[in-house]
Chain A
Amino acid sequence: MNEHVIHRVRDLPSAHLLGAGTAMCAGCGGLGALHQVYDVLGEKTVFVNAAGCMTLLANYPFTPFKGSWLYTAMASAPAGAQGVRDALDVLLAQGRLPPAEDLAPVVLTGDGSAYGMGLSATSAAIERGLDFLYLCYDNEGYGNTGQQSSGATPHAARTATSAGGRGHPGFKKDLFAIWAAHAPAYVATVIGAEPLDLARKVETAIGLKGPRLILALAPCPTGWDFEPAALVDVGRLAVNTGIFPLKEYRDGRITHTRIPRPRLPVEAYLSTQGRFAHLFSPRRDDAAIAAIQAQVDRYWQGVA
């Protein structure tokens, strides 16, 4: 199952499974990633959705999905996926579900759940070796309630709960490393702005068994304060400045699927978003920008 069908952009699916008409914001980076992921996953999936922006996807009586969707509390989506997997396994064992009709449980949460509230349930599910895919749309804050800071909020970003002149005092948690430390089947970072990289990783993930994470950076026009039309530009800059490394973990090894050359200065990315505007105006905060640059440089020194 490790052979890729998707080799080049021409192989990307041209018909889209996910229905339009969702309540997501115009220019939503999470939806942009989800609709690409769904095209590769196919409709034989059960999305187990923790509370978050995407809870509004399936808003009775509307759903954009061609398959199933289940809603759980914010901290318990992986436990919900366990229940779904167990129920399917029981049905399969009893011969009440033909193997061809088996479904794949896919946890769908934002970063609030993935990096914070749901981390305990996630760790336990990985520990049990649950056969599931976890798709996190990471918009670096509690977007659905007005972008309060979360465990994924980057240093210096303005959020509803870090509105001072310096922005968020904390640092973004490394969820990729937290997952990889559990030695699961697969961990990958993706972004909607790089569709081929995304599709190939999702394809790899569905060919494997066990706990698998697809961590999608989800540029958020509403929470990050940029024009919706700039969605893809912001996403590409996150990759090309090295702020968001595209990589995968498999069999104990981490591979970078894109090493940005030349690596653009971080301010090319920061200056596109209102949440970092205080770094540039009314006075340019050279020290803060240099500190962010130094952190990114340190990361890539470790890669080369």
Chain B
Amino acid sequence: MYRIRFHGRGGQGMKTASCILGDAFFAEGFEVQDAPRYGAERRGAPIFAYVRADRAAINERGIIARPDLVVVADDTLVTVPAAAVLQGVGARTVLLICSNDDAATWTARLKRDCRVLTLPAPAAPEAGQAQAGVGALCAGAAAALVGVIGRAALERAVAAELAAHGAPVVARNTAQALAAYDALAAHQGLVSAGGAVDAGARAPVDWIDLAAEDAAAAAPDIHATATSLKAATGLWRVMRPVIDHAHCHKCSWICSTLCPDSAIAVDADHAPRIDYDHCKGCLVCVAVCPSHAIRAIPERGAAGAVP
């Protein structure tokens, strides 16, 4: 059975990738499961979708713990623990990362014995533009790597899954999928199907036994306030808003009030400050600032660019 996980950010098209790949597998006569992970499927948040494909009926359910192939659409996720990109990645796993760093760099960085491949990272969006979906690209790459999906089946799968979005979207995504498929032609069949998993031999989860306690102690009550500040939603950001304080009119309310995430506070001297640990990069502040004192820059490599 092939077990494949697609990791990306909400909005990048990982669910679409799993649908396209599932469709293509099915066209080649496989039994298929494809599903996005239900959870925080928010724009920019780490998400994943997965595909199982087998010639026989599939009785496995749930998240794929031992993937044969992991496709990573956004290389900044590799180091995000919550994204769990490397979960279950072993010696026979192929890890395909969309990144401008090469495979040797990633192999050295990760210190894993898995096989690492890379594809060039998608370009950062222009200010005000949507992050382009890379679902079809990821599906096309996966289709090539498993080696059992023909070019025609992939092409039909893209058209079938995206038909509702109209011909231009289908054409753009078809080109994207086939380009990735062709780019990995040299690695056709690199990913092999994993063996059956015996439910009886499944390693028990590493439980920590807790003593039964009173409801007052054991119930999931939260007694501290505003603990959400512990959640680093700044990791969702693809674009970063940057305030040019020289041009800020110190209105003291517009960006701070209209920021939906309470991520902009106003100092005593009326200067706004963006909380980059939590700003999700929605760029509402950029859009509403009347003096255009906030601009957006790509998050990738932004740390050094911020004054």
Q: When the two chains form their complex, are residues B284 and A65 in contact, meaning their CB atoms are under 8 A apart? A: no
For B41-58 the 0/1 string (1 means CB < 8 A from A) is 011110000000000000
Residue A262 at the chain B interface, CB threshold 8 Å: no
For the complex, give the distance between the alpha carbons of A221 and B230 in Å.
25
Known pairs A29-B260, A229-B287; A20 contacts B43 (CB<8 A): no
Q: How far is the CB of A48 from chain B (nearest CB, A)?
A: 15
For the complex, give the distance between the alpha carbons of A252 and B44 in Å.
46
Residue A19 at the chain B interface, CB threshold 8 Å: yes
Q: Which residue of A lies closest to B219 (CB)?
A: A60
Q: How far is the CB of A96 from chain B (nearest CB, A)?
A: 17
Interface residue from B45, B220, B280 paired with A61 (Cβ < 8 Å): B220
Interface size class of A (residues with CB under 8 A): 35 or more
Residue B263 at the chain A interface, CB threshold 8 Å: yes
Interface residue from A28, A230, A233 paired with B260 (Cβ < 8 Å): A28
Q: How far is the CB of A199 from chain B (nearest CB, A)?
A: 9
Residue A22 at the chain B interface, CB threshold 8 Å: yes
For the complex, give the distance between the alpha carbons of A58 and B220 in Å.
11
Residue B262 at the chain A interface, CB threshold 8 Å: yes
Known pairs A27-B43, A36-B257; A20 contacts B282 (CB<8 A): no
* Main DSSP-derived SS at the A contact region: loop
Q: Which residue of B lies closest to A56 (CB)?
A: B40
Q: When the two chains form their complex, are residues A26 and B280 in contact, meaning their CB atoms are under 8 A apart? A: yes
Known pairs A14-B252, A27-B260, A61-B220; A228 contacts B283 (CB<8 A): yes
For the complex, give the distance between the alpha carbons of A263 and B42 in Å.
34
Q: When the two chains form their complex, are residues A221 and B43 in contact, meaning their CB atoms are under 8 A apart? A: yes
For B278-294 the 0/1 string (1 means CB < 8 A from A) is 11111110111000000
Chain B residues 103 to 147 lying within 8 A of chain A, measured CB to CB, are 128-130
Known pairs A25-B43, A233-B287; A31 contacts B227 (CB<8 A): no
Q: When the two chains form their complex, are residues B260 and A19 in contact, meaning their CB atoms are under 8 A apart? A: no
Q: Which residue of A lies closest to B164 (CB)?
A: A163
Q: When the two chains form their complex, are residues A21 and B232 in contact, meaning their CB atoms are under 8 A apart? A: yes
* CB-defined contacts of A58 to chain B, threshold 8 Å: 222
Known pairs A14-B252, A26-B42, A282-B166; A231 contacts B260 (CB<8 A): yes
Interface residue from B42, B225, B256, B286 paired with A16 (Cβ < 8 Å): B256
Extra contacts besides A19-B225, A193-B258, A229-B283 (9): CB < 8 Å: A18-B262, A20-B279, A22-B233, A23-B40, A25-B280, A26-B236, A26-B281, A57-B228, A62-B231
20 A-B contact pairs sorted by A residue (CB < 8 Å):
A15-B265, A20-B261, A21-B232, A24-B260, A26-B44, A31-B261, A32-B258, A32-B260, A35-B260, A56-B40, A61-B222, A64-B262, A227-B128, A227-B129, A228-B282, A229-B128, A230-B287, A231-B287, A232-B258, A233-B287
- Chain B residues in contact with chain A, CB under 8 A? 10, 40, 42-45, 128-130, 164, 166, 220, 222, 225-233, 236, 252-253, 256-263, 265-266, 275, 277-284, 286-288
